[in-house]
Structure 1
Amino acid sequence: MTQTTSTGEAEILTIKQVALYLQVTERTIYRLAASEGIPAFKVGGSWRFRRGDLDHWIAGRIGKTSSAENEGAE
């Protein structure tokens, strides 16, 4: 059986770590996770997040923001 390291896309983060990573409050992360606004899963009742999923989610949000800004500029 192989064990994954805590670096890269396989890294699992807690609410507190995600809040620090995204520079928002823990309450914001709880709200996003509960409303499925951010990729998350529960382990024993606690929210957990894969860093790779978050990075992909961020990239998608950046694309949406850029598209909306470009449409408004025309």
Structure 2
Amino acid sequence: MAEMEDRWLSVDEIGKYLGVSSDTIYRWIDKHAMPAHRMGRLWKFKKDEVDEWVKAGGAADKSRQDQAE
């Protein structure tokens, strides 16, 4: 059962987990170095990697951060 918790998630699944659209996920991969792994034509995600990325501020809007400093 533990191996099912550690499975690879799709773009739709990780978007639903984070509460954002698929377009946002693709934008984060491209512009914010979201941890994603390409498997053929598909992007796959490990939930723990994405959680760490979010905690480290990976999803933060860089332009807003620049304005605040």
TM-score w.r.t. length of structure 2: 0.71
Q: Using the alignment, how far apart are the partners of 1:42 and 1:35 within structure 2?
A: 16
CA distance in 2, matches of 1:36, 1:47: 15
In our comparison, the structure showing a higher alpha carbon Rg is 1
Give the Cα–Cα distance (whole angstroms) in 1 for the partners of residues 46 and 22 of structure 2: 16
C-alpha RMSD of the superposition: 2.5
Tell me, which stretches of 5 or more residues in structure 2 are unaligned?
Answer: none
Provide Cα deviations, 1:29-64, integer angstroms capped at 9, x if missing partner: 0111133531001001111111110111121128x8
- Determine the structure 1 residue equivalent to 2:25: 29
Q: Spell out structure 1 runs of 4+ moving beyond 2 A.
A: 34-37
Residue 4 of structure 2 corresponds to: 6
Pairs aligned (count): 61
Structure 1 stretches lacking a partner, 5+ long = none
Of 48, 53, 64, the residue aligned with 1:52 is 48
Instruction: Return the TM-score normalized by structure 1.
Output: 0.67
Alignment-mate amino acid for residue 12 of structure 2 = K
Kept after mapping to 2: 8 A contact 1:11/1:52:
no
Cα distance in 2, alignment partners of residues 45 and 22 from structure 1 = 22
